[in-house]
Amino acid sequence: MDIAYPVFEELIDMSRLRAHERPIGVGSDMHQLARYLEGWVKE
């Protein structure tokens, strides 16, 4: 899997105290993992 670990400070929009949106590309490793895990939740 191609997992990147950004610095925590880069993840947070300090003006809103919220995490920045980080869209996941269709077909990416994280997208495939999310689809796989959905099967576990539905069972």
Checking if the pLDDT of 43 tops 80, the result is no
pLDDT per position as a tens digit, 6-38? 888 888 888 999 988 878 889 998 888 888 998
Distance CA 2, CA 31 (A): 11
Q: Which residues face 12 on adjacent strands?
A: 19
Domain ranges of the chain: 8-42
- List, as one string, the DSSP characters of 1-43: -------HHHHEETTTTEEPP----TTSHHHHHHHHHHHHHH-
**pLDDT given at position 11:** 87
Q: Residue 3 — pLDDT band, cuts 50, 70, 90?
A: confident
pTM of the model: 0.45
Distance CA 42, CA 33 (A): 15
**pLDDT given at position 1:** 62
**pLDDT given at position 21:** 84
